[in-house]
Amino acid sequence: MRFGTATPTSRPPLIRPSPGPLRPAPRPLPTAEAPGPGHGQSPAVTRAGRRGGPGPGAAPGAAEPSPTLPARKHALNCHRMKPALFSVLCEIKEKTGLSIRGAQEEDPPDPQLMRLDNMLLAEGVSGPEKGGGSAAAAAAAAASGGSSDNSIEHSDYRAKLTQIRQIYHTELEKYEQACNEFTTHVMNLLREQSRTRPISPKEIERMVGIIHRKFSSIQMQLKQSTCEAVMILRSRFLDARRKRRNFSKQATEILNEYFYSHLSNPYPSEEAKEELAKKCSITVSQVSNWFGNKRIRYKKNIGKFQEEANLYAAKTAVTAAHAVAAAVQNNQTNSPTTPNSGSSGSFNLPNSGDMFMNMQSLNGDSYQGSQVGANVQSQVDTLRHVINQTGGYNDGLGGNSLYSPHNLNANGGWQDATTPSSVTSPTEGPGSVHSDTSN
């Protein structure tokens, strides 16, 4: 980038654009700070020189022809009073410079700039490249559930962030380069001018400071717009969380099976949630959401869900029957010495009122295998009967270590039950989801 030439960018011009050829520059007024001998190329000087007219300092009506500007400057430089005059001027300037500096140099770090810097750093736009805002993307992904579907959006987010990062760095580099060039340019100018007018190094320093401040304000604009771009990208990405996508049929089936087989206590434990999440390829929080929604919606409209409940109950019962048949076979070969563990053996099947209770009794941890073996069909029939009979609420005997001890109260809400954790099936680990389901 060269100064004095228009740059074909959309950015605000770094310096005031010089008038184009269609609008000729107004003739510079003659000032005391006319360029020194090194600036013979200046239009003012050349024009004045070519015109040969009276110079800026020429006394009107002088009889003798006025000398050319370089000649006059030379004469001025060689004047015997010049050093003295120069030092006085330097002194004055030094004093005024100090007062100006005193007024301007208190420059605390801009909090807004710091905020922008921090944000860009946090988003991975500035600073060392480590996967381009991986932390932010990871956080966003975590918030969005982090399922495999999100990986596409995730990579999309990162790609866009990388793009922003690249643009930011390119622009920043341009600005820095421009700043350096301009500073050098101004310093050279001032150094040259310092031959004819008093310019102290401190003044040059101050000028450089001003230039740097100007450029840093431009950089701030760049940072600001970059931040805005990141925010937009981020909000778009995070908004994707709200983009609802129905769970797969299989996942819904699994969740429903669990729900209806635990109708007395549809509060899966953390372990159960994790297991369900794994099976359904969703997150634990999605499982929680699903159960939250399901409980509330079921409770609000039991009638509507009756059919669904029957469907899943029947399904579970059939699977249970198969499981029982298998258990019977097992029990025929192995002696049926399964102990009655805990209190589960005590619950009253006809009063149990939901699949969970029935399945609990069918599942092998609380029954005498031979008894159940003889009653497979009647058990299934009872299940069906019970399911059809009730809305699924019961008086609270269900539950094993997988579920929070809740039950439905008289108001139609599930409330705490007193079932001891000892009903946990000895044949299945506490983390198992299917301690009492057909899964």
Partner DNA sequence: AGTGATGATTTGCA
Partner DNA sequence: TGCAAATCATCACT
DSSP, res 407: E
Residues in region 367-406 near DNA by CB under 7 A: 404, 406
Residue of the chain from 175, 295, 342, 380 that contacts DNA (CB under 7 A): 295
Residue type, 21: P
Exposed/middle/buried for residue 357 (C-beta within 10 Å: 0-12, 13-18, 19+): buried
CB-nearer residue toward DNA: 18 or 250: 250
CB-nearer residue toward DNA: 176 or 270: 270
Under rule CB under 7 A, residue 205 binds DNA: no
CB-nearer residue toward DNA: 168 or 290: 290
Under rule CB under 7 A, residue 304 binds DNA: yes
* 407 vs 391: CA distance, rounded Å: 13
Residue of the chain from 99, 184, 289, 427 that contacts DNA (CB under 7 A): 289
Q: Nearest distance from residue 263's CB to DNA, in Å?
A: 12
CB-nearer residue toward DNA: 291 or 367: 291
How far from chain centre, in Å, is Cα 254?
A: 33
Bridge partners, 268 (sequence order): 403
Residues 248-267: x where in contact with DNA by CB under 7 A, - otherwise, as a string: ----x--------------x
Bridge partners, 403 (sequence order): 268
DSSP, res 67: P
Q: What tokens were used for 195?
A: 């031959």
Q: Nearest distance from residue 423's CB to DNA, in Å?
A: 18
Q: Are 233 and 161 in contact (CB under 8 A)?
A: yes
* 213 vs 315: CA distance, rounded Å: 74
* 258 vs 240: CA distance, rounded Å: 29
Under rule CB under 7 A, residue 299 binds DNA: yes
CB-nearer residue toward DNA: 182 or 414: 414
Residue of the chain from 50, 80, 130, 242 that contacts DNA (CB under 7 A): 242
Q: Nearest distance from residue 404's CB to DNA, in Å?
A: 5
DSSP, res 81: T
Q: How many amino acids of this chain bind DNA (CB under 7 A)?
A: 31
Stretch that binds DNA, among 14-22, 105-113, 289-297, 376-384 (CB under 7 A): 289-297
Under rule CB under 7 A, residue 347 binds DNA: no
Stretch that binds DNA, among 27-35, 234-242, 319-327, 372-380 (CB under 7 A): 234-242
User: What 3-state class would DSSP assign to 269?
Assistant: coil
Residue by residue, DSSP assigns 126-140 as SSS-STTTHHHHHHH
Under rule CB under 7 A, residue 297 binds DNA: yes
Q: What angle do CA 77, 80, 85 make, to 5 degrees?
A: 75
Q: Nearest distance from residue 251's CB to DNA, in Å?
A: 8
Stretch that binds DNA, among 131-139, 187-195, 282-290, 314-322 (CB under 7 A): 282-290
Q: Nearest distance from residue 256's CB to DNA, in Å?
A: 9
Residues in region 141-170 near DNA by CB under 7 A: 143-145
Which ranges constitute the DSSP H helices of 334-418? Answer: 349-352, 355-362, 369-374, 376-389
Residue of the chain from 194, 288, 306, 382 that contacts DNA (CB under 7 A): 288
CB-nearer residue toward DNA: 67 or 292: 292
Q: Are 320 and 313 in contact (CB under 8 A)?
A: no
**Which own/partner contact pairs does 303-310 have at CB distance under 8 Å and 24+ positions apart?**
306/391, 308/256, 308/260, 309/260, 309/263, 309/387, 309/392, 310/387, 310/388
CB-nearer residue toward DNA: 6 or 143: 143
Under rule CB under 7 A, residue 245 binds DNA: yes
Q: Are 416 and 406 in contact (CB under 8 A)?
A: yes
Under rule CB under 7 A, residue 86 binds DNA: no
User: What 3-state class would DSSP assign to 414?
Assistant: strand
Residue type, 405: P
Stretch that binds DNA, among 78-86, 281-289, 368-376, 431-439 (CB under 7 A): 281-289
**Host H or E run for residue 154:** helix 148-193
Under rule CB under 7 A, residue 16 binds DNA: no
Residue of the chain from 53, 127, 201, 292 that contacts DNA (CB under 7 A): 292
Q: Where on the chain is the footprint of DNA (CB under 7 A)?
A: 143-145, 239, 241-247, 252, 267, 270, 285-286, 288-293, 295-297, 299, 304, 404, 406, 413-414
